[in-house]
Structure 1
Amino acid sequence: MSPRLIALLLTAFLAVLVPATPAAAAPVQTLTWTGNNSTTEYASAPTGARPGETTIVFENSEATGNTTGMSHTLTFDTTTPGYNHDVSLNILANPFDAQDGRHEAVVTLTPGKYRYYCTIPGHTAMVGEFVVSDGTGDTTPPVVTASVTGERDSSGNYVGSATVSLSATDAGSGVASVEYQLDGGSWTAYPAPVVVSAAGTHMLHYRARDVAGNQSEEGMAHFTVVARPGDTTAPSVSAAITGTQDTAGNYLDVATARITATDAGSGVASVEYQLDGGAWTAYTAPVAVTAAGAHMLHYRATDVAGNVSPEGMAHFTVVRSDTTAPVVSASVAGTQDGDGNYVGKATVTVTASDAGSGVALVQYKVDGGTWTAYAAPVPVSSAGPHTVGYRARDVAGNASAEGSVAFTVVAGGDTTAPSVALQVTGKQDGGWNYVGSATVTVTAADAESGVGFVEYKVDGAAWTRYAAPVVVTALGAHTVRARATDVAGNVSAELPGSFTVVAAPPPPDACPVSDTRETVVIGGIDSQVANVDTGNGCTINDVIDETAEYASHDRFVKHVKAVTQELVANGVLSTGDRNRIVTAAIESGVGGGGLATADGGKRKASARA
């Protein structure tokens, strides 16, 4: 299975963790986080925002500097004291997922401070915070500065390229946005340093706005870029086509084109590609081709000095490994009257399966509305007749036929969803990790029609009916979600939780100075039974303890019989091995007037009580 397909399936599951809330009006602002190859910090993140409905953008792609295919999450902290806990956000992004690493969610922010972090193991140093302010009392605009860096000639011109970095601060409500305008073009949001490689004189204007709406004066950076002298050699460019191939060399379901360009002179300025005779397009990330059929990819590169490489060409064929559409169905639940109408609310559950490439997308529409991605059962509460359509598509691109269910909702009944609570318990270490196992307990309550059933899912598993506390023993980080449905069909919001299970430390060695002879030897008599560890660091010879003091030989033999019987019960010894050890004890003469030593001799011993 290719990395892109794995990321697609993983993201399709985790996308339900962050359902976007439909908005009556456009969000008041957009906040953007980006990720790259770092495991210690986000590539960029906001520091301030205004309250209200907000579009959260998290992009972790090659365009933002992630060249290794590394996954990151953007997760809002909902437990640490001192921060706002009213936004549940957990976005997983990978450069090869279905959105090419760029995801959006709509949330509502309130005044205060939010903390965010990455939940991927080993990435926990990726953490930060931002302040949401209504701007009351702040009338001072932000301070914004620019610096231009790069190799310079004796006249102060930048050779090959110039990089402009912007920095903004605001001691009041906080910086909300930074923008720049290059050579009279449009104003553009500033996410990262701007590289200017075109030869000539350039003018870059910049400005910033704080959360209170105060805008700084426009700043300006003026500089000249000249071509690197002496570079007349075009870049070297190549392409690699990857993916799963059949015996004929065709690519199954998807072929990914990666283009690489190098230039030892002035450096690569741009890379472009053309697919199947289409327009030339800037290459910024691997190109995934999923359309079945033969394809032709042309590519070229241009260096800073303006030298253009000859066009390269790659041809390949994509075929579908899966030609069967998914199976999709829907069911309607809720309280019905004598005529079969649903009282107060009907809940539509859509289920899809695909035995081939797997389900990629499930959609529904209510009463002829727009198609919407299906993430959870759909409640319909408005009185009157309704039709809910549904369809599904698999990873190979096969689409099911559209299905529909029709029903009527009448006024009255229970329209309030149940409440659900989730608790994780177990023995914890100093880092709040659960040692050996964690127990997940889910409870639900409904004051009207009553709880119908409770469901949970752990990590990537399917939704499962909850009957008893769930014990999780697998080591590592885990996520759990729970929801409840009442008898009237109302479904609660999904409740998330996360925890980590670590291995229990080994028990202390009960016999730090142990008898490690290869076989069980008693008073010089070798039983020929392996002298194994009994499970706590003590060997069988240690447990028999032939050098201790015993009142008589008979007392010693009884001791050996007792301890070996316990070892049989614990699975350490077989019955036959036990008999050989007891026989050796009988023949040893240990106990009584003296204790046998390893060489068969005797030593004086006082009576053992």
Structure 2
Amino acid sequence: MSPRPIAVLLAAFLVLLGLPTLAVAAPVQTLTWTGNNSTTEYASAPTGALPGETTIVFENSEATGNTTGMSHTLTFDTSTEGYNHDVNLNVVANPFDPQNGRHEAVVTLTPGKYRYFCTIPGHTTMVGEFVVSDGTGDTTAPTVTAAVAGDRDPSGNYLESATVSLTATDAGSGVASVEYQLDSGSWTAYSAPVVVSAVGMHMLHYRATDVAGNTSDEGMEHFTIVEGQGDTTPPTVTAAISGAQDSSGNYVDVATVKLTATDADSAVASVEYQLDGGAWTAYTAPVAVTGAGEHMVHFRATDEAGNTSPEGMSDFTVVKSDTTPPTVTASLAGTQDADGSYVGKATVTVVATDTGSGVAAVEYRVDGGAWTAYTAPVPVTAAGVHTVDYRARDVAGNTSAPASVSFTVVAGGDTTAPVVSLAVSGKQDGDWSYVGQASVTLTATDAGSGVGPVEYKVDSGAWTRYTAPVVVSALGAHTVGARATDVAGNASLEVFGAFTVVAAAPPPTDACPVSDTRETVVIGGVDSQVENIDIGNGCTLNDVIDENAEYASHDRFVKHVKAVTQELVGNGVLSGGDRNRIVTAAIESDIGGTAGAADVRGRDVKKAL
């Protein structure tokens, strides 16, 4: 129990006895954190503090800007190196909890640096730190700067309002407070950017004070606010396309474009449009578009104050009253032998025309496969008899009947089979067996017509098309085969690889099933500040030190600690610096006990090591 709760209980007991009570000292300071709708930072947080008993206030409520009912936490870091770890604080606050989101806790701060953060997933950037200083040695005042922002006219005056942001830093004890004074007003605590909207000249003074009590020189910013310049909002302009449409949404023969512009302040001065990348043209009446094909119209408007809207755009397609499908033909090209077969490759070129609405799409398929959009001549290289079907569709939606062309491709002089190899990878034991599983990767090359299908089989299984490395996890001896065929139909020799898969070794036995898992090495109440790590066999540093065993004397206990930590340093588990801190904590402790127990315990611990 901390000293403060003991004092409170003692005061209550004295009241029951009718005796004078002892005065309970109030915390030396109050530090406040606030939260709002942000998940990236706290709404406010301290940057410095004094040592001693402190009231921590964490408020995450509607009053601090949380209007969504979202929870935040204020958690002090007790593990990251470089920060104080002597305060365990983890407060969850929600605007609708029993405390309405406002929570208090009393802690004792010591000189140094503390880190805090929010533990809720998605809020991980809500993090910060503050410095606790007793003021000793810090005689340097904070540095504080100001920045003024807002819309400005050509003379540099701010239009309608200006926002002043203050930033203070202190490398010593930390910033305690920032203040500002606007014009001839009083000094005011700065917590957020200051918005000034009164028309006229203004002077803002500012200063900052650190935890050690050093106050910066006053800074100042002067600026002038003038009336706004009237209408700065551009018009709103929209387009509507009308006309008879077919089942695909295309406009038949004609599409009419109507533009509408409005402006809530000054009047609309002009409306313009641009059709299919042409010149900008003044809009005076709906525009009729009759050309067959796809179209894009851009449009904009300008008001009397000179504000021009962003460009809008609409696209549409016009088709003619067309009921005739396109005409489509195909031609073959390539080197032919005496039988008319194409040697190595045949190239199919498809041409479509339409005198009505125009060609919209051309498609083809090879040997009954899926229909594919035609964009360029199609090469066919596989040896054998082939049929290529083709068709076309016009803008009006008329599709031609499928037509086809048939031909034969023969090998073009490539009589050399591809080369195929396999490689086995994975974790191996001392007998070169693979532990748990083995991965088989196949590689095939062909300098002639190119590699065609690559296949593999495992043991007596069927040949299977290879697409990715094959994982074999069944325990025992295995044989994997590989083969490949090139585009000309030449098949490689079958190659085989043999290997064995064995089971993974069982995990090591935990030498300390009931372990001391405190975060740091603590000996007889003395915290060494060394992380209480697992030494590799399930035992922690606190386990091998074993402060609760019996020892002949305090000196015998210290010798025990020196011995086990020296062995840990030799095994690379512990650094020399951490060993020194642990031995120092042992010396400062009062551990000691019955003679002989330490020797027995030391032997047991060395066995564990």
- TM-score when scaled to structure 1? 0.33
- Tell which structure's C-alpha radius of gyration is larger: 2
- Which structure is higher in RCO with an 8 Å CA cutoff and minimum separation 6? 1
